[in-house]
Structure 1
Amino acid sequence: MAKLCGDDYAHPRKRLGPPMDRDYLADLFAPFGPVTIRRMFSGFGISADGITFALVIQGTLYLRADAATISKYQEEGSKPFAYTTRLRTVTVASYWRLPDRLLDEPDELAQWSREALAAAERAKALKPRAAKRAKKKVVPKPKRKSTKQSPVTR
């Protein structure tokens, strides 16, 4: 089983602040606009227009980021999502922890959420679309000639 890691990670039961349940998240993102909140991993995936732009994992909120927005998170002292397996620590550089101060700034949180959605849309646009699989024509294998000799009729 994987566990979360990081200097600023706190177990959700020990973490100060509001519980990240579905009702709280709906209220938190209300200034942003309508969102879909789905159960995912050990938390929730938050999406708008079918694109996931935020994750809540073990009580911590992460927003989608890319080269255009990562510097904002770094300036706030935020860290990317990371987890540890038995073999190594995996850092997911596309999701960064929401700065705690934004939980009390609904308008600014809405702006960061719009930027996270834009980052998710850019990432989706860069993904190569799955090419429609060409239907293979089924060509029957040629029948093997029998090695048996047919009876000779005279």
Structure 2
Amino acid sequence: MMALDRGLIDWMAEVLAADGTVTHRRMMGGATLYLDGIVFTIVDGDGSLWFKGDAQSDATWDAAGCARFTYARGDGQVASMNYRRAPEACYDDVDAARTWALLGVAAGQRAPVKKRKGGKTAG
């Protein structure tokens, strides 16, 4: 299993400290990050940030040239998820990181609540 990039998780917690509490859950060699229970970004196994996007924020992500998260499926097809690569400034500029992260939080707030097996809602 790849080592989780705690530095990026800690960085996001610092950037968003005034907005709430950042928590994470390990997933697919990286982690999914939440702000007060709202999913807003993933940190992949390569140590890259991918902020949550949606139809409402797609134009903003596209204008900034932020690629959509893609991965190879078991059948060889390429699939995508509604996450966008963080602009480079997000790795060393608190204001840029907060602005883009909050765009991801807003997309997370608009996302439908998914039900887990057994009828419990996912957080």
Distance in 2 separating the partners of 1:111 and 1:64: 13
Shift of 1:54: 0.4
Q: Out of 17, 22, 25, which is 2:9 matched to?
A: 25
Greater Rg by CA: 1
Q: Which residue in 1 is equivalent to 2:80?
A: 91
Contact 1:28 1:106 (C-alpha < 8 Å) held by counterparts = no
> Any idea what the Cα deviations from partners look like across 1:45-86, whole Å, max 9, x if unmatched?
100121211001122210001122122221221111001123
Deviation, 1:124, is: 2.6
The code of the aligned residue for 1:88 comes to Q
Partner amino acid, structure 2, of 1:116: G
Q: What secondary structure sits across from 1:124 in the alignment?
A: coil
- Quote the RMSD (CA, aligned, Å): 2.6
Contact 1:73 1:99 in 2 (8 A): no
Change (3 A) 1:24 1:95: closer
Unaligned runs of 5+ in 1: 1-18, 133-154
Matches within 5 A, 1:73-88: 73-85=61-73, 86-88=75-77
Change (3 A) 1:49 1:124: farther
Note the alpha carbon deviations across 1:64-110, whole angstroms, 9 max, x for none. 01122122221221111001123311011x11111112212211211
Distance change >3 Å, CA 89–CA 104, structure 1 → 2: same
> Pick from 8, 29, 36: which aligns with 1:49?
36
Instruction: Give the TM-score taking structure 2 as reference length.
Output: 0.76
Task: Tell me which of 98, 107, 112 is aligned to 1:110.
Answer: 98
How far does residue 30 in structure 1 lie from its aligned partner after superposition? Answer: 1.0
Is residue 22–residue 37 contact of structure 1 (8 Å, CA) maintained in 2? Answer: no
Aligned residues between the structures: 111
For 1:38 and 1:24, how far apart are their aligned partners in 2?
A: 13
Q: Is the 8 A contact 1:51 1:120 kept in 2?
A: yes
Identity %: 28
Higher helix proportion: 2
List alignment gaps of at least 5 residues for structure 2: none
